[in-house]
Amino acid sequence: MIAYDVVYVRADSVDEAVTAWQQAHADGLKPAYLSGGTELLTAARENRNRPDVLVDLKRIGALRSVTESEGTLRVGACVTLTEVVEDGRFGLLSRAAGGIADRSVRNSITIGGNVCGMLPYREALLPFLVADGSATVAGPDGTRSETLEQLFSKRLLLKPGELLVSLSVPSALLRAACWYRRRERDARVDYPLLTLCALAAPGGRRMAVSGAFAYPLRDRPAEAALNGNGSPGERAAAFVAGLPNAIRSDMRAGAGYRRALLLRAVEDAIIELEAGS
């Protein structure tokens, strides 16, 4: 439970939600958008996050569907991970979403909540990163759509009061050959030491990583090594060496172990994607 007096607003439209956020902010309060609420509730219970006003997005119909038109698949921000897994049109997303938490928690967690939450893993974003995804966001200045290359750097670059409306990918990449691996320290239902999503697109192989870093990462310059010469092991080593980011070390695993998991995963991904091409 949230052990203080929080205000709850159930919005029926994106405009209502943005207006409610703005009003709370203008009143000097700390508003937060609410979707599945799993992360927010556990953080609030431990006093790690104390929003004054919760603006619930879950009953906004426009955020609740997966649609495909004009060569683009759009996933509404309040679609649950279970719904994404069962939709199945974006196979890599189904696999990545299905690896998060457990099924009954996935019945609550939404794509938007996973991508915009405080936890560093945000694994549901990885398939969108490797598939040249885009995001549509709405806020006090209106609605805008941007590529994740523009809108994502360690986190979604949302302005104050903005909310995620949908994530989208080109339909042409939905069935591209893909590869997924998730490794945990102990139980499968745990935070990942490493999650890797790889996609063999017409222009070459791409990879996005979570768990190994303090944020999800796709590094396009480093990907050149994946598509160069040399054995899979040599290319994996070149790819990992080319990542400019510090590998994470914490109570679950040291950086050396995470690096070893990453190297092996990248090598295996190259081998299996090449075998399938």
- Region class of 16: left (phi > 0), else alpha (psi between -120 and 50), else beta: alpha
Q: Which of residues 70-89 bind other proteins (CB under 8 A)?
A: 82
Q: Residue 142 contacts by C-beta under 8 Å, 6 or more apart in sequence?
A: none
Which of 8, 145, 153, 185 is the binder for other proteins (CB under 8 A)? 8
Asked if residue 27 binds other proteins (CB under 8 A), the reply is no
Which of 69, 104, 229, 277 is the binder for other proteins (CB under 8 A)? 104
Which of 29, 49, 56, 245 is the binder for other proteins (CB under 8 A)? 56
Asked if residue 42 binds other proteins (CB under 8 A), the reply is yes
Compare residues 65 and 245 and give the one whose CB is closer to other proteins: 65
Which of 30, 103, 154, 175 is the binder for other proteins (CB under 8 A)? 103
* Residues counted in the chain: 277
Half-sphere exposure in the Cβ direction for 266 (13 Å, CA): 32
Asked if residue 7 binds other proteins (CB under 8 A), the reply is yes
The tokens describing 46, both together, are 């431990």
Compare residues 15 and 274 and give the one whose CB is closer to other proteins: 15
Q: What are phi and psi of 276, to 5 degrees?
A: -90, -5
Q: Residue 268 contacts by C-beta under 8 Å, 6 or more apart in sequence?
A: 179, 181
The three-class DSSP label of residue 121 is: coil
Asked if residue 4 binds other proteins (CB under 8 A), the reply is yes
User: Residue numbers of the site for other proteins (CB under 8 A)?
Assistant: 1-12, 16, 20, 37-38, 41-42, 44-45, 54, 56, 58, 82, 101-105, 107-108, 188-189
